[in-house]
Amino acid sequence: MIIDSHAHFEPRMLGEADLLRKLDAAGVDKVALIPAMNDPLPPVPEILLGGVRLLMQSGFTRPLAELIHRATLNAEGNLRLASGEYKIYPQPDNASSFDLVKKYPQRFVSWAFLNPRASANVLDDLEKWRSYSGMIGVKLHPHWHDYTTDLLFPLFERMQQLGLPALIHLGFGKRGDYRAIAEKFPRLKMIAAHAGFPFYQDMWNFARQHNIYVDLSSPYIDENLARAAVKVMGAERCLYGTDAPYGFADENHSYDYTAIRGWVERMPVSPAQKEAIFSTNFLALTQAKYSPT
């Protein structure tokens, strides 16, 4: 079984009918949706992505990558790119994702996307969204929602009690203090998006001793980084994910589901380990129970 643990529901880029057709064609059985948090974005040139990836792979050059990131956020908290300004939504569109889950409960589950900085009471938000069927955990984005991760502690306290996983796109410095989180909440199931962006190797070594997992999604990483993450952390801590519909366009400029699947298929690991990356790690973390499609 193949389960995409990290995909954005963005019908303005990939509509429902096209999405279903592509999933069928690519043999992706299930998708864990992430509600939209931003205006649709243009593709980022690989040369730029590759450069920033490189800067983030060392503690010495990572501050340069952080400076580049800070320059892309304007005073209103929106993204400022060469091609224009793109809104970041303080409150992501959870309702649309859960509508799709309701329509296709065997194909889709969803993360509830929460933002402690924009909410009067994020614990109430958690209670609201976890009552929706198909809710498998919480997505958090301190990198773009621009808050320090200590703001998440009350939420993590409750999620740890509930056994709910957190999929978190870590930010730089105190906006991605995975050490403090793991030490304060040792039983919290934390999945660091994009192989631990922006820390990568520095996080993998620490993660082996803690309850930390990674997804292997997005051109924030490449095939070499995905392999290295699996080698250091072990296949049992890595999850297949895409970041669709962002990155990896096919010849029709639409999302290419074969790219990251190929990374996993070509990895020098056993078939059982590939199965773990493709689905069983996700199922164990989310305790999701599916009936066959």
Name the residue whose CB lies closest to Zn ion: 243
129: tokens are 């969204």
Q: Footprint of Zn ion on residues 42-61 (CB under 5 A)?
A: none
285: tokens are 């973390």
Say whether residue 215 binds Zn ion (CB under 5 A).
no
Q: CA-to-CA distance for 69 and 55, rounded, in angstroms?
A: 12
| Smallest distance from Zn ion to CB 186, Å | 26
| Smallest distance from Zn ion to CB 32, Å | 11
Bond before 198 cis per omega within 30 degrees: yes
Q: Which secondary structure element, helix H or strand E, spans residue 159, and what is its range? A: helix 153-162
Stretch that binds Zn ion, among 53-61, 101-109, 149-157, 241-249 (CB under 5 A): 241-249
Contact predicate 169/144, CB 8 Å: yes
Specify the pairing of strand 166-168 against strand 135-140.
Answer: parallel
Q: Toward Zn ion, which CB reaches closer, 5 or 149?
A: 5
22: nearest Cα among 286, 279, 242? 242
Q: CA-to-CA distance for 1 and 72, rounded, in angstroms?
A: 38
Q: Footprint of Zn ion on residues 176-195 (CB under 5 A)?
A: none
Q: Toward Zn ion, which CB reaches closer, 29 or 243?
A: 243
Q: CA-to-CA distance for 105 and 225, rounded, in angstroms?
A: 33
Q: By CB under 5 A, how many residues form the interface with Zn ion?
A: 1
169: tokens are 């796109």
Q: Toward Zn ion, which CB reaches closer, 177 or 243?
A: 243
| Smallest distance from Zn ion to CB 243, Å | 4
| Smallest distance from Zn ion to CB 220, Å | 8
| Smallest distance from Zn ion to CB 158, Å | 24
Among 243, 273, 277, 278, binds Zn ion (CB under 5 A): 243
Q: CA-to-CA distance for 57 and 199, rounded, in angstroms?
A: 7
As beta bridge partners, residue 140 has: 168
Stretch that binds Zn ion, among 35-43, 96-104, 242-250, 256-264 (CB under 5 A): 242-250
| Smallest distance from Zn ion to CB 101, Å | 18
Q: Toward Zn ion, which CB reaches closer, 170 or 273?
A: 170
Q: Toward Zn ion, which CB reaches closer, 10 or 243?
A: 243
Contact predicate 104/30, CB 8 Å: no
Stretch that binds Zn ion, among 58-66, 100-108, 135-143, 243-251 (CB under 5 A): 243-251
CA pseudo-torsion sign 138, 139, 144, 150: positive
| Smallest distance from Zn ion to CB 41, Å | 11
Which parts of this chain interact with Zn ion (CB under 5 A)? Answer: 243
